[in-house]
Amino acid sequence: MTAAQADPGAGLLLLVVGYGAVSVGVVAGNIIKSGFTQRYCPTGMLGRVSATSAFLNYGTMPLGALLGGTLGSSLGVRPALWILTAGVPAAALFLCFSPIRRYRDLPTEPLRAGQQAVVAPALS
């Protein structure tokens, strides 16, 4: 469903606000990830790290398209969109309850041999 096909009212407002919020989050995440990668990775490895990251990010998109097409064909478009709607917050909840939640700050320099990572206490 696009904004042009949506009925005017609360549904259209929620579509526009939700799409805008997700877009802002994606842009902010990309800026933070790129800045961290450029600061943290050695110069000689930056190209390989960036290429691997892009391969993993963009390489999963065809899998998602295939899964979305399969769900849309087998269940219908509306149930597939409801599954997507439930899946996006589920991904955030997965991160909130995973060990990654303890890592509040990004490291400022690479670890040296035998050095232990310092983990900030979990936010309550």
Taking only the tens place, the pLDDT of each residue in 24-40 is 998 998 898 888 888 88
Has residue 18 got a pLDDT over 80?
yes
Task: Measure the CA–CA gap between 56 and 64, rounded to whole angstroms.
Answer: 13
pLDDT band at 84 (very low <50, low <70, confident <90, very high): confident
Specify whether the CB–CB gap between 100 and 117 falls below 8 A: no
Has residue 108 got a pLDDT over 80?
no
Tell me the three state secondary structure of residue 9.
coil
pLDDT at 71: 94
